[in-house]
Chain A
Amino acid sequence: MSAATVAHNAKRLPRAGVAKRLVARIGDGPAVIGGIGNANFDLWAAGHRARNFYMLGSMGLAIPIGLGVALAQPDRRVFVLEGDGSLLMQMGCLATVAARAPRNLAILILDNGTFQITGGQPTPAEQSGTDLVAVARACGLHRATWAADEAELDRLIDLCLIEDGPHAIGLKLDDSPPERQTERDPPQLRDRFMRGMGAKRDRTLG
């Protein structure tokens, strides 16, 4: 079980770089769901894409939303950016994902050890030393692994594009702030995403 120990060696990556690396590598096709907390801000700051969905509320539901998208469009890759605090709130969803085993779903756990957006308070998982990737594996996501550094993150993202999932990648992040904030207009965010996903036909408004 070597990968489980990588958590302790994983480099703390600058947070803004993660969404940028993801978006740069995956191209236009995949859907990306940005969770509440700074995850959706990072995704927004990385440059809007037609197939991005930004959550503004419903803490912990980024992975369930991603699962729904993945089940609806099994031929499209779906990436979820979810914070550690948010995942902790809805940890049971890891078992739900493993039970459905969507081949096209990849979860990126953005683990900064804190509820950063609400003031940087440490999470109980941080205080207890909970290894969220080990939790994901114990829930049945056997491919879950920590990314030790940027190069490994790139390699793992590439694997998510070509190999069957469900995938889960744990990332240790630093405490730098997000670069921008998502525009807070939920119906417009939803409408753009649906057009990007082809769930609304007329693209002229997108």
Chain B
Amino acid sequence: MQTETRPWHAIVLEVFKANGIRLIPYVPDNVLKPLIAACHADPFFTAFPTAREEEAVGIVCGAWMAGMRGLCLMQTSGFATLPNALASLPCAFQIPALVMVSERGTLGEFNMGQAMVCRTMRPILDSLGMEHHTVSRLDECEFIVDRTIRQAFMTQSPAALILSPLLTGGKAVARA
């Protein structure tokens, strides 16, 4: 395999494009900053902030039903606000709503609130029966993101992509 030289956000951006994902509603996260900025800078995308992550899920579901593909960007805390919206909209209606979550609250974070919330994410995804994959290595990034997105659309199922600090570097914090 060729050594991957692009940063994770450049890989993700190209995979979005290759899969025709144009609509990117988000609630921001520090780690997602370069990806959000790149989406705004590229006229291929319609990227914009929402007040809540639930809204972003509703927007992406509505857009897909009308023929436009989208994906929601958020951090772990934002994901934790979503079980009801995911269960009763994309899961119940079989809509391939995609969420990409920057994993916060693990591997060296200072915020106890985020650390607690982080533990709820995978159990929620498992109990919803939602496909989810964690991207932790640069050389696997394109494959995991691309295949997860493709399968979501082909099976009309929602899915989550979790971006580990191992991939993104997370948020650098000083030792206590």
Contact = CB atoms under 8 A, between A and B. Distances in A.
Contacts of A67: 58-59, 62
A140 interface: no
B88 A71 contact: no
Contacts of B63: 68-69, 71-72
A92 B62 contact: no
A30 interface: no
B65 A193 contact: yes
A2 B115 CA distance: 50
Nearest to A96: B50
Contacts of A60: 54
Interface string A88-101: 00101101100110
Interface stretch (B9-17, B89-97, B98-106, B139-147): B89-97
Contact of B59 (A31, A64, A95): A64
Interface string A60-96: 1111111111111100100000000000001011011
A186 interface: yes
Contact of B94 (A53, A62, A76, A186): A186
A151 interface: no
A58 B65 contact: no
A93 B93 contact: no
A73 B57 CA distance: 18
Contact of A71 (B52, B56, B68, B93): B68
A76 B65 CA distance: 14
Given A58-B85, A92-B51, A186-B92, A65 B62 contact: yes
Contact of B58 (A61, A194, A197): A61
Contacts of A61: 54-55, 57-58, 61, 85, 89
Nearest to B48: A100
A95 to B, nearest CB: 6
A47 interface: no
A99 B48 CA distance: 9
Given A64-B62, A68-B62, A190 B55 contact: no
> Looking at A58, A60, A62, A66, which has the most chain B CB atoms within 10 Å of its CB?
A58
Interface of A: 31, 33, 53, 55-73, 76, 90, 92-93, 95-96, 99-100, 186-187, 189-190, 193-194, 197-199
